[in-house]
Amino acid sequence: MKVFIVDAFTDEAFKGNPAGVCLPDTELDSATMQMIAKELNLPATAFLWPSENNDIAYTIRYFTPAVELDFCGHATLASAKVILHHLNKTSVNFSANYQLTIPASSQGENIKMAFPLYETSDFIPDKALYEAFGIENALKTKFAEELDMLIIEVADKTTLINIKPDFTRAVQTSGVVKQVVITAKSQDSDYDFYSRSFCPWLGVNEDAVTGASHAVLAKYWGNILGKKEMLAYQASERGGFMRLKIISDTTLEVISNAKIIFEGRMPEHYLV
């Protein structure tokens, strides 16, 4: 099985969000994929199988070191980088859980993808969750039910950068929230908004750059800013960017880049 490590949502090596991309010769069982993802110990690992009758169609499944995900944006971009720029395909269609199809194609050095776009509703989290993240004055809170994702808007980028969560306390909070995304409107001309993403419930304390969160943030900030096209930056330690364009009520165009850092092969006898 070919195995790649790819830094997604960045133009630079060792920035962005690292993902594993695995190309097994035959489909693996869930337990084996989970063990491999745990062994790689990256925020997410994607497993790809080509269609029998379409050489640009792949089934994709996503695993953190702890659980399987329905959708992972940065692992999708990492997979697209391998298929488009390493295997030299011109386009690719990924079929994920729940009949979700994600097309991707090259745009010069960058990669263009179509992500689903998610709605949010009003939501008031438990006080204990605010306390775990050290948030005293949230401007707004929204919840994306399909992703179990809580969006919290804070006053500015400085407030966002200075957040230091207590992850032990966070995972002890009860409820439906499995990911907390904290965001702030930009006060400069470089980007339209900033964010950070935390998912200790999924085995990743802080996710470096999160495609799925921007599938929620795009509509959130698009409504506030009155824009269809935005440039976003995830202000983690590694950092990463993406260009966003709302195509319809259900579709988001995402453009960014990725760098293949490692390429190797896992011996067949380990694929039990």
* Stretch 191-201: mean pLDDT: 97
CB-based contacts of 107, cutoff 8 Å, min separation 6: 255
Q: Quick one: tokens of 186?
A: 């930009």
In whole angstroms, give the CA distance from residue 214 to residue 250.
13
Q: Do domains 2-115+256-270 and 121-247 have the same CATH topology?
A: yes
The two structure tokens encoding residue 144: 């994306």
Report the mean per-residue pLDDT for the chain: 95
What is the pLDDT averaged over residues 146-164?
96
Query: For 159-195, how does the pLDDT look when each residue is reduced to its tens digit (9 = 90+)?
Result: 999 999 999 999 999 789 999 999 999 999 899 999 9
Q: What DSSP designation does 111 have?
A: E
pLDDT for res 174: 76
pLDDT (0 to 100) of residue 260: 97
Percent of the chain beyond pLDDT 90? 88
CATH architecture entry for 121-247: Roll (3.10)
Q: What is the pLDDT of residues 64-113, one digit of tens each?
A: 999 999 999 999 999 999 999 999 999 999 999 867 899 999 998 999 99
Please give the CATH number for the structural domain made up of 2-115+256-270. 3.10.310.10
Q: Specify whether the CB–CB gap between 234 and 196 falls below 8 A.
A: yes
208-250 confidence digits (pLDDT tens): 999 999 999 999 999 999 999 999 999 999 999 999 999 999 9
Name the token pair of 272. Answer: 């039990």
Identify the band that residue 272 occupies on the pLDDT scale cut at 50, 70 and 90: low
Residue 269 pLDDT? 84
At residue 127, the pLDDT reads 92
pLDDT of amino acid 98: 66
Please indicate whether residue 272 or residue 202 has the higher confidence score (pLDDT).
Answer: 202
Rounded Cα distance, 205 and 106, in Å: 31
The pLDDT assigned to 60 comes to: 96
List the chain domain ranges: 2-115+256-270, 121-247
